Amino acid sequence: MNNANLIRMANRIGDFFDALPDREEALEGVANHIHKFWEPRMRRELLSYLSAHPDGVSDEITLAPIVLEAVTQHRARLTPAAATA
């Protein structure tokens, strides 16, 4: 999957939750949505993007601040379990 598409999708999720008045609730909402509805490979790619671009900014696209904060805070929870053979 293309990183730009993933970031755009994540930013749309962030836009929705950014409207909440409670910042912690908004951050939890972003992380919860990504955890529940994104396939492990999508989460891996998002986390890989953040490893390469810790500030969420690349030449191609920028991760919304709320998404960056949510994913950074909840990185362990969003990291897919290792596949077992």
Contact 40, 77 (CB under 8 A): no
pTM (two decimals): 0.91
Give per-residue burial for 36-50: e unless 16+ CB within 10 Å, then b: eebeeebbebbeebb
Residue 23 within any structural domain of the chain: yes
Residue 83 within any structural domain of the chain: no
Residue 51's pLDDT is what? 96
Can you say whether the dihedral through the CA atoms of 59, 60, 66, 70 is positive or negative? negative
- How many structural domains comprise the chain? 1
User: Would you say residue 1 has pLDDT above 90?
Assistant: no
pLDDT tens string 11-60: 999 999 999 999 999 999 999 999 999 999 999 999 999 999 999 999 98
Residue 84 within any structural domain of the chain: no
Q: Give the domain range for residue 70.
A: 3-78
